[in-house]
């Protein structure tokens, strides 16, 4: 077979990594697929911009049609980001019978099912391993390595920026704004960090993981999302005191035929394997009925880790080309989506509140919880600097989300409650 021709859409951090791996690993790639790979065209915004990799000028173009409509190009690698315009380009590429590899989780979370359908209709492959957890081969593990098992739960740290921020806040006692600035200076956080710190980036990844793991069409709107912007140093210190570590955790759980998918700051018992995943690293914990518990750990972002996932997808596309089986990998969702109602979602909760320092206040609070059948696993009652107030920190036993939300409403209405400081989900048992 002659050389396989690649077109790139984008030449930023990840695109440069793809070029680097293709150039430096030609021997290995040749051994894997039996023919060379050559880069034919690369779409860029500016041809004259200085780059971290050496590229021949004639390979660069500012016109997407030079890639999408190029009859010589077999595979389009999309690493430029964006959603609406990118969707149109990739649909055009697939209809032109070009295989597609993308790292775009925003696009796949919103339009993944449409793109996969068009790929299948045109006998094309569409792979997107790099869209979730950078260099960790989690999607292929779900669709191939664990294909014979029934996945019941996935929980993970799938955003390196927030993990870096929470690690620094927890270990160094630094304030959120201070650590965010450090993350931006180091290149872990964008100038506009909203997508990361509000949990949207992690939510898109959890929608993709849940869709594949449970074989259901899970949409971004199905994911309950809460970010890290309200976490304080006090929250982290109390968590530590109780034997927990705070992480932004994505959870996707299947019980019977119903699922819940969420992204929220969560107190993990210090003994949980995810509690020791620090800095910008990602990890996904997968529970299967047959395999039991497995964990996938590695760099969640970065030029070369993400590029490695992209080039691994490229290798699969090219092996399929050699075998003549492209477009056969798309598996449509097996089950109708059924989301759990709030009275079917159970968890333990951490609650921190300030109350009037008066006799009988705690009894009133206990009455509200017991009225919903919720008991306490841990209680800290502390004097407070503010005159006439006491601080109470609680960890509940398992409670339904519906009961817990009703409890919060009643607490806010209670005259003795001055204010509720924070509330988080809890996984596992602390000290």
**Which residues are marked as active site?**
205
Element at 8 (helix H, strand E): strand 4-9
DSSP state of 379: E
Q: Checking DSSP bridges between strand 4-9 and strand 376-383, what pairing results, if any?
A: unpaired
Element at 286 (helix H, strand E): strand 281-288
Closest CA to 164 of 144, 140, 181: 181
Closest CA to 9 of 49, 56, 69: 69
DSSP state of 395: E
Separation between Cα atoms, residue 397 and residue 377, nearest integer Å: 5
Closest CA to 430 of 399, 382, 401, 395: 395
Cα dihedral angle (129, 130, 131, 132), rounded to 10 degrees?
80
Residues 6+ apart with CB under 8 A from 400: 342, 343, 344, 345, 346
Rg of the chain (C-alpha set)? 24
Separation between Cα atoms, residue 24 and residue 34, nearest integer Å: 16
């Amino acid at each position: 077979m002659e050389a396989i021709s690649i077109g790139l859409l984008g030449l930023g951090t990840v695109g440069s990594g793809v070029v680097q791996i293709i150039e430096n690993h030609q021997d290995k790639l040749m051994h894997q697929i039996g023919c060379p790979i050559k880069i034919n065209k690369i779409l860029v915004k500016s041809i004259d911009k200085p780059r971290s990799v050496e590229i021949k000028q004639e390979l660069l173009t500012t016109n997407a049609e030079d890639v999408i409509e190029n009859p010589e190009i077999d595979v389009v690698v999309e690493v430029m980001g964006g959603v609406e315009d990118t969707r149109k380009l990739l649909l055009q590429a697939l209809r032109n019978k070009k295989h597609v590899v993308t790292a775009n989780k925003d696009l796949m979370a919103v339009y993944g099912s449409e793109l996969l359908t068009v790929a299948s209709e045109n006998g094309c492959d569409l792979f997107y391993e790099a869209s979730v957890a950078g260099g960790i081969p989690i999607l292929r593990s779900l669709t191939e390595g664990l294909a014979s098992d029934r996945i019941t739960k996935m929980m993970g740290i799938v955003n390196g920026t927030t993990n870096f921020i929470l690690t620094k806040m927890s270990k160094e006692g630094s304030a959120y704004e201070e650590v965010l600035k450090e993350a931006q200076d180091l290149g872990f956080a964008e100038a506009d960090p909203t997508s990361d710190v509000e949990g949207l980036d992690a939510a898109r990844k959890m929608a993709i993981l849940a869709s594949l793991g449970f074989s259901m069409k899970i949409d971004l709107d199905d994911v309950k999302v809460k970010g890290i912007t309200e976490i304080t140093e006090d929250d982290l210190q109390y968590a530590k005191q109780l034997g927990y570590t705070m992480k932004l955790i994505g959870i996707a759980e299947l019980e019977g035929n119903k699922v819940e998918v969420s992204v929220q700051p969560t107190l993990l018992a210090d003994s949980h394997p995810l509690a020791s995943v620090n800095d910008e690293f990602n990890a996904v914990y997968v529970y299967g009925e047959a395999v039991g518990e497995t964990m996938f750990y590695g760099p969640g972002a970065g030029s070369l880790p993400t590029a490695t996932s992209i080039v691994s997808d490229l290798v699969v596309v090219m092996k399929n080309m050699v075998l003549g089986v492209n477009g056969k990998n798309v598996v449509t969702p097996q089950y109708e989506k059924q989301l759990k109602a709030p009275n079917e979602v159970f968890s333990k909760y951490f609650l921190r509140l300030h109350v009037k320092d008066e006799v009988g206040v705690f009894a009133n609070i206990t009455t509200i919880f017991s009225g919903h059948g919720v008991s306490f696993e841990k209680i800290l009652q502390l004097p407070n600097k503010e005159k006439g107030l006491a601080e109470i920190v609680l960890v509940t036993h398992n409670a339904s989300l519906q009961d817990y939300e009703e409890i919060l409403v009643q607490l806010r209405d209670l005259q003795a409650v001055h204010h509720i400081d924070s509330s988080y989900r809890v996984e596992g048992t602390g000290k």
